[in-house]
Amino acid sequence: MALALPAKFNSNFIVVQATKSYPESDLTPLQRQRLQAVRQRRNREIQAVLDSSQRAQLIRELHQRANLNQALEKLNLNPEQQELIKAILKFTNLKLKFIFPKNTPAI
């Protein structure tokens, strides 16, 4: 797993970028539980922004082994969707920084 931090690509869209990787086994059970909750909420919030065809395309891309960044890049997102997803990812990153202080293994 890796800590998610913002990284920019086209259209000032922010996606998740891995910085440091640690085996998930290095996390405490509570950290794993919190990580799972943060990811699930992020995923639900992103899905709520997408229309049904975009959700289907996102699922296809993820099943083809694309990571979330790659899958989001392939969607034809309008500017409003880009801004909403950008905000979701920024908020998710803030949550992760709170859950995983610098002195402990990050996700």
Locate the domains of the chain by residue range: 2-99
Identify the band that residue 57 occupies on the pLDDT scale cut at 50, 70 and 90.
Answer: very high
Q: So what's the pLDDT on residue 23? A: 61
Q: What is the Rg, in whole angstroms, of the alpha carbon atoms belonging to the chain?
A: 14
- Better-predicted residue by pLDDT, 19 or 84: 84
75 contacts 57 by C-beta, under 8 angstroms: yes
Single out the residue of 10, 5, 16, 11 nearest to residue 80, CA to CA: 11
Is residue 58 scored above 90 in pLDDT? yes
Identify the band that residue 13 occupies on the pLDDT scale cut at 50, 70 and 90.
Answer: very low
Q: How far apart are the first and last CA of the chain?
A: 5
Q: Which of 44-53, 65-74, 92-101 has the lowest mean pLDDT?
A: 92-101
Is residue 62 scored above 80 in pLDDT? yes
Q: So what's the pLDDT on residue 96? A: 87
pTM of the model: 0.71
Mean pLDDT of 17-27: 56
Identify the band that residue 25 occupies on the pLDDT scale cut at 50, 70 and 90.
Answer: low
